[in-house]
Structures are given as C-alpha cells and as structure tokens.
Chains A and B, each alone.
Chain A
C-alpha cells in the first residue's frame, strides 16, 4: 500500500528565510505526487503536482518541489518565506488507475517576523 511520511510536525522559519519541507513516499511505480496547503479554518488548496517529465515542478505562490526517485522524496521549497505562508502543508501520493489520494500527517509552518 502506498504511504507518505512527513517527518517534521512543525517547522519554524524567519520571514525572508528559505524553506524546505520534507516528504517521503512508499510506492512501487512512479507515483503521482502533490503538495497542498491549508490555511486555518480552510480547505486544502493545491500548490503543485508531479505526474511525469521534468522532476522539478513549479507551483503557485513561489513554491517548487523536486521529485527524486532514488530517495523516494518530493520535498517542497521556497527561496524566501512570507508571513502569509504560515499554514499546514500536506504531501500526498496517488496511483494511476483507480487513484486514491493518500496524505501525510502534515507539517505546520510557523513564520517569525
């Protein structure tokens, strides 16, 4: 069965600093990978997705993620964090065909001024 691990429960960064959120997945074939963001009291919004092709994908709000098959990872990065980026971030994996999105437990991002 597919699974997703987000090893960091909380990440604290200063505004303007760079950010990397980690995500590792377990799946036999090439997975479909996603990052979602959830602001307090809101639903989940897609930041970016990887299906195939270029392993570095660009998303909304200045985020990017890199798929590394050898490390089974799909880490999310942003070069300069803004206070408005404070939120919960979820990595998800899905398989082709029937596809059922499976989510990690989430990483809470705290941004200090």
Chain B
C-alpha cells in the first residue's frame, strides 16, 4: 500500500524561486494536512483541508499557498522561496471521522539558499 506519497524527496531552491510540493493519498481520506518540521519546534501546521473543496490556514501559513486538487491530492506552493522556509515538509491525511489518526508521508527536505 502506497499510503501518502510526497514528491520530491529533496529539493534545493534559490531565494525567490517558486516550487510546488506534491502530495497524494490512496486511502480515500477526507482530510489532508501540510506540516513543517524544524529542529526543536516539532511539527507546525501550515495549511489543512478538512474535505475536498475546502482549505484553511494553520499556525504558520505565511509564504505558502495550497490547492486541494481533488480528494487524493493536496499540493503546497512556495511562490517566492526564502531561507526561512528551509525545512522538512510533511503531508498527512486522515479519514475524517472522529476516531481516526493521521497518516504521514516520508517528507520533503527543502533547502533554500
């Protein structure tokens, strides 16, 4: 089972460049999430999509945009990358019912120089 798939796994960007991180899940989950992980900070929520067609800001949304393309896919876009966005990005999905946990992708390690 693929679960949650993120692409790419690694990326180096120059300051000011743009890119889109892709995430797809094959578990028919309703909710999807984007987190960033920084040393000593745990995982912080960037954006989430409670269901297809809806997106909402999380704790650290500045500098990012998202698209819930369909039920399977939830992309994260950096319009003008900054060194402060150097991080590991995780996508997660959840079925949407109350008694369910989140499943995570393997992460995208992004470096902005």
Binding site for B on A (CB under 8 A): 6, 9, 32, 34, 36, 41-46, 49, 51, 90, 92, 96-106
Main secondary structure of the interface of B (DSSP, over half): strand
Residues of B within 8 A of A (CB): 4, 31, 33, 35, 40-45, 48, 50, 58, 90, 92, 94, 98-99, 101-107
Query: B residues within 8 A CB of A103?
Result: 35, 42-44
- Contact A98–B42 (Cβ < 8 Å): no
Kindly identify which residue among A96, A100, A104 contacts B42, using a CB–CB cutoff of 8 Å. A104
Q: In the complex, what residues of B have CB within 8 A of residue A104's CB?
A: 42
**Which of A32, A43, A90 interacts with B99 by CB under 8 Å?**
A32
With known contacts A9-B40, A105-B41, A97–B98 Cβ distance under 8 A: yes
Alpha-carbon gap, A49 to B58, bound state (A)? 23
Interchain nearest-CB distance for B60 vs A (Å): 13
Contacts of A97 in B (CB 8 A): 98
Cα A51 to Cα B33 in complex, Å, equals 21
CB-nearest residue of chain A relative to B107?
A43
Also in contact, A43 and B106, with CB within 8 A (given A32-B99, A51-B99, A99-B31): yes
